[in-house]
Amino acid sequence: MKQLSAYEDKLLACTPTEYLLKLDLLNPKNIKDTLHAYQITKRCNEKRVLSESVKWGKNGARINSISPGIIVTSLAIDEFNGPRGDFYKNMFAKCPAGRPGTSDEVANVAELLLSERGNFITGSDFLIDGGATASYFYGDIDI
């Protein structure tokens, strides 16, 4: 997905939820395909977590999000053995972790964020994908 402008990011972050779908940026004619829809949804989540952390912080609350990559689940195993299985195997082979993640690995981050050890963490999105995103931008993974 192309880089969004600061103005577009602010719209995603601050537009009241009941008006989000009225943004030109989110108009179906401007969404190229399901991958683009997924990407813009993730960007919106990231920006809203930042914005909401400021509001909720005034009440002593912390807001964070976790963005897991491919995690071994029954559905993921079906994907690994399905038509896109070679894509996933290639992605795992080329990412730094060399494998998909586990639910326990995601839970470990959630535990930190929910514990007192995470009291200084707010407004953050934690990407837990074994380095797949990094490999897409700076390595050998092609989508």
Q: Which residues are catalytic?
A: 38, 42
Work out the number of other CB atoms within 10 angstroms of the CB of residue 111: 12
Tokens of 5: 């402008």
- What is the three-class DSSP state of 11? helix
